Amino acid sequence: MAAAVNPTSLESAPRIMRLVAECSRSRARAGELRLPHGPVATPVFMPVGTQATMKGITAEQLDALGCRICLGNTYHLGLRPGPELIQKAHGLHGFMNWPHNLLTDSGGFQMVSLVSLSEVTEEGVRFRSPYDGDETLLSPEKSVEIQNALGSDIIMQLDDVVSSTVTGPRVEEAMYRSIRWLDRCIAAHQRPDKQNLFAIIQGGLDADLRATCLEAVPSSRTEMTKRDVPGFAIGGLSGGESKGQFWRMVALSTSRLPKDKPRYLMGVGYATDLVVCVALGCDMFDCVFPTRTARFGSALVPTGNLQLKKKQYEKDFRPIDSNCTCPTCQKHSRAFLHALLHSDNTAALHHLTVHNIAYQLQLMSAVRASIVEKRFPDFVRDFMGTMYGDPTLCPTWATEALASVGITLR
């Protein structure tokens, strides 16, 4: 791949990102986001609390784990309890009593995940509510209006999302429409001083389309990076595409995105993917995986995961991870969690949710420290060694992706 030439943004958008350190080999960066509800160290993993709650753990527990930013979902919250009520409750922060930062997505992803209930036109997305059958139109204006009412620190543009497995003209249509919708979102945004609107780079798995979305094309007005936004998300990935295609689109995107603005890779959360994509130059991540898998009895560890419901853990009196500092690992054994998971006491799920969030946050902390201390490539090698037993057993796509930014695993 040719050496990346990162343009600096052409406008005076708010600079919310401060770079603290950069890896001299790869594209990894350590930084700090300056957001209305406090600073956030990057790279950062943002847990997903879809409906104004982090799935069974309290705001106090989440704060104690060191989380400083998490997600809410505009589609869900827009339906229940609705923006008017949340506004009365002093925004989403007030409603769920979360003192730190919130990022809301636009509702766009639900187009893909709830596609049987939706219809996309230039106007917006028409949804049929799964709860009462009512029809709602989610337009760029409506999405921003709801997010303004929610008051989240980072809001996302409404993008025309297509599944990464879709090919053909629909992908191109969606890419251009996303740019038009970005402009409509920027125009509709009532609170640019309080809420940071991020653009979302689309283009599916087509390098040309992605590049078009990103790159300067003299005669066209299609350059997303020229838009006056404080940050960029890389969207349309983390669906059913192959990992080989996935990493190439991430790398292409980061090579063309401005250095001085945060890069948010949406929907990425497996540990290996996080480490590789940090190497490729991403700063922010979100994924339901850690919290969802916890509710199925799966605990994340440096070597993968433990399916604690299985009989092999019945008499395992060790904690999930002896190096983990989370409350679950401080107090409980795998054997106890195994027994509790086989009961109907929901506490079992909460123990694992706490641990899995701690795992993700501790991982990001460790990644960041290694970048700051100029030993990120060694960290990556250690990480892969622990996860796969031997660096050479690391999945091919990851090895290739890392090699592309100068990190070898031998």
Q: Which residues are annotated as a binding site?
A: 105-109, 159, 202, 236, 324, 326, 329, 355
**How crowded is residue 108: how many other Cβ atoms within 10 Å of its Cβ?**
27
Taking residues 81 to 110 in sequence order and writing x for each that binds another protein by CB under 8 A, - otherwise, the string is x---x--xx-----xxx-------------
**381 touching another protein, by CB under 8 A:** no
Taking a C-beta distance cutoff of 8 angstroms, is the pair 175, 159 a contact? no
Nearer to another protein, 17 or 59 (CB): 59
Tell me the window of 109-117, 169-177, 223-231, 341-349 that interacts with another protein (CB under 8 A): 341-349
**288 touching another protein, by CB under 8 A:** no
Nearer to another protein, 59 or 265 (CB): 59
Nearer to another protein, 70 or 398 (CB): 70
**123 touching another protein, by CB under 8 A:** no
- Residue located via tokens 């622990």: 386
**132 touching another protein, by CB under 8 A:** no
**Rounded least distance, CB 106 to another protein, Å:** 20
Tokens of 353: 């949710």
Nearer to another protein, 150 or 280 (CB): 150
Residue 293 falls in which region: left (phi positive, over 0), alpha (psi -120 to 50) or beta: alpha
**5 touching another protein, by CB under 8 A:** no
Tokens of 256: 């063309």
DSSP 271-340: HHHHHHHHHTT--EEEESHHHHHHTTTEEEETTEEEETTSGGGTT--S-S-TT--SHHHHH--HHHHHHH
β-sheet bridge partners, residue 272: none
Question: Using CA atoms, how far apart are residues 264 and 284, in angstroms rounded to an integer?
Answer: 4
Binding residues for another protein, total number by CB under 8 A: 44
**51 touching another protein, by CB under 8 A:** yes
Please, which residues have CB within 8 angstroms of residue 164's CB and are 6 or more apart in sequence? 204, 205, 236, 237, 238, 239, 240, 241, 245, 246
**342 touching another protein, by CB under 8 A:** yes
Distances (CA, A) of 91 to 6, 81, 321: 36, 12, 38
**Rounded least distance, CB 342 to another protein, Å:** 6
Question: Using CA atoms, how far apart are residues 318 and 276, in angstroms rounded to an integer?
Answer: 30
> Angle, to 10 degrees, between the axis of helix 243-256 and the axis of helix 396-404?
20
Identified binder of another protein from the candidate list 29, 142, 177, 351, rule CB under 8 A: 351
Tell me the window of 78-86, 100-108, 259-267, 378-386 that interacts with another protein (CB under 8 A): 78-86
Question: Using CA atoms, how far apart are residues 350 and 340, in angstroms rounded to an integer?
Answer: 11
**403 touching another protein, by CB under 8 A:** no
Task: Detail the DSSP E strand segments found in 26-82.
Answer: 29-35, 38-42, 44-47, 69-73
**53 touching another protein, by CB under 8 A:** yes
Give the closest residue to 74 by CA, choosing from 126, 152, 162.
152
Question: Using CA atoms, how far apart are residues 286 and 323, in angstroms rounded to an integer?
Answer: 24
Nearer to another protein, 189 or 350 (CB): 350
Nearer to another protein, 343 or 396 (CB): 343
Question: Using CA atoms, how far apart are residues 11 and 228, in angstroms rounded to an integer?
Answer: 6
Report the site for another protein in 135-164 (rule: CB under 8 A).
Answer: none
Tokens of 262: 């945060």
**354 touching another protein, by CB under 8 A:** yes
| Strand pairing category for 118-120 and 38-42 | unpaired
Give the closest residue to 104 by CA, choosing from 65, 64, 70, 62.
70
**Rounded least distance, CB 96 to another protein, Å:** 7
**Rounded least distance, CB 310 to another protein, Å:** 14
Tell me the window of 51-59, 157-165, 173-181, 369-377 that interacts with another protein (CB under 8 A): 51-59
**331 touching another protein, by CB under 8 A:** yes
Identified binder of another protein from the candidate list 54, 144, 282, 398, rule CB under 8 A: 54
What is the set of active-site residues? 105, 286
Identified binder of another protein from the candidate list 10, 18, 24, 80, rule CB under 8 A: 80
Nearer to another protein, 61 or 272 (CB): 61
**Rounded least distance, CB 16 to another protein, Å:** 28
Which residues here bind another protein, judged by CB under 8 A?
51-61, 64, 76, 80-81, 85, 88-89, 95-97, 314-315, 317, 327-328, 331-333, 335-336, 339-340, 342-351, 354
